Amino acid sequence: MTNEDLATLDGVGPAMTSKLRSAGLTTVEAIAVTPPREIAKKTGIGFNTVLNIVAAARKSACVDFITAEELWKKRQNMLKCSMGSKNLDELLGGGIETQAMTEFIGEYGVGKTQICLMLCVMAQLPLEKGGLNGNVVYIDTEGTFMPERIFEIANALGVDPHKTLENIFLARAYNSSHQCLLTDHLFKFCPENDIKLVIVDSMIGHFRGEYIGRENLSERQQTLNSQLHKLLRLTEAFNLPVIVTNQVLANPAQFFGDPNKPAGGHVMAHACTHRVYLRRGRKGTRLAKVIDSPYLPENSTRFKITEKGIEDVQE
Ligand code: GTP
Ligand code: MG
């Protein structure tokens, strides 16, 4: 991915550039993939001008038609971040992918946040050690981010815990509209701070808490959908993985098998590239199962949560 200067776009002068930048549209790619109506609203630039800018950006970033060969090349830039467990990495085809959104689903206490905390440390490792060699953004909607836990995991991995903490940028989202604001800000924040991993824990908590009742469901789903699509665009624009966590709902109509299903309905299901369902297993272990992915098989594996973070279960 190139980070071409906005000023190279036809018809975009310094004033326009600064409007785009302050709206978080800092790269040609970001402009090319953001809906024009949204750009106009955020920047105050007239809609017709925005259409021209977007057209120029699309031309420059080659986002209209590309050949499958070009897509193949783009996907060669894809990186994978280890989760510290070989089995979990294998389940996900070698680790958490960039240019994709991975969702961890499960009931309270199953280990969603623990996986996120582990990834905060792993992502900072150099590529040859399974990391992404960059910094991390953590959008915490539940106030469960624990620096002590990062300290512990970093120590166990033999990396400097204070440096590790320095490289994690935390934002506590207090409600769904604050969460939306933070997501918007990421398009500016990520390239400026060498962010290589974005975590939203939990994606859905505020939405479920605020939009109560059937009459508010469609508005909730629309807002959630637009947020998820922004996060997806972020993965492509900056070649990074986005991790979201999701809760489960009890499904009273279910007679056999697991009575829980992921929250967020079809919107969540369609937006996330890979969905991983977590459950409690024998002897305190955890089961992870891929339930939806464009190319990963629906396998499952076990892992455990220890003071070192996430580890393989010795069979
Ligand atoms: P919610 O956010 O409530 O939906 O749950 P979650 O899925 O995020 O759960 P979380 O990741 O917070 O997992 C909490 C569980 O991790 C605890 O119940 C412990 O079993 C386990 N855990 C956390 N820290 C440690 C640790 O240092 N050692 C061990 N062995 N287990 C730990
Ligand atoms: Mg949690």
Q: Of the residues 34, 60, 86, which one is the last residue of a structural domain?
A: 60
Inform me whether the pLDDT recorded for 67 exceeds 80.
Answer: yes
**What CATH number does the domain containing 98 carry?**
3.40.50.300
> Are residues 262 and 133 part of one domain?
yes
> Are 43 and 187 within one domain?
no
Q: Provide the percentage of residues in the chain whose pLDDT is more than 70.
A: 98
Residues 164 and 269 in one domain: yes
The pLDDT tens digits of the residues spanning 177-207 come to: 999 999 999 988 999 999 999 999 999 999 9
Closest Cα to atom 3, ligand 1: which residue? 108
Which structural domain, as residue segments, surrounds residue 8? Answer: 3-60
Same domain for 279 and 187? yes
- Whether 88 and 48 map to the same domain: the answer is no
When comparing pLDDT for 139 and 24, which is higher?
139
Q: Is the dihedral of CA 180, 71, 9, 134 positive or negative?
A: positive
Mutational test site, ligand 1, from 85, 113, 201, max ligand atoms within 8 Å of CB: 113
Same-domain status, 124 and 150: yes
Residue 169 covered by a domain: yes
pLDDT of 256 reads 75
- 66 in a structural domain: no
For residue 266, being part of any structural domain is answered with yes
> Are 230 and 81 contained in the same domain?
yes
Quick check: is 71 in a domain?
Answer: no
Ligand nearest to the Cα of 304, by number:
1
Segment 52-69 shows an average pLDDT of 83
pLDDT above 60: residue 58: yes
The residue whose CA has the least distance to atom 1 of ligand 1 is 108
Is residue 262 lining ligand 1, measured as CB closer than 6 Å? Answer: no
Asked, as a colleague might, if the bond just before 202 is cis with ω within 30 of 0, I would say yes
Q: In angstroms, what is the span from residue 55 Cα to ligand 1's centroid? A: 47
- Give the integer Cα–Cα distance in Å for 190 and 135: 9
* pTM score, whole prediction: 0.87
- Would you place residue 257 in the very low, low, confident or very high pLDDT band (cuts 50, 70, 90)? confident
Task: Identify the domain boundary among 11, 30, 60.
Answer: 60
31 and 104 part of one domain: no
Is the shortest distance between the CB of 155 and ligand 1 below 6 Å? no
Instruction: Give buried/exposed letters for 251-284 (b at 16+ CB in 10 A, else e).
Output: eeeeeeeeebbbbbeebbeebbbbbbbbbebeee
Say how many Å lie between the CA of residue 177 and the centre of ligand 2.
20
Same domain, yes or no: 126 and 221: yes
Q: What's the pLDDT tens digit per position in 110-120?
A: 999 999 999 99
Residue nearest to atom 2 of ligand 1 (CA): 108
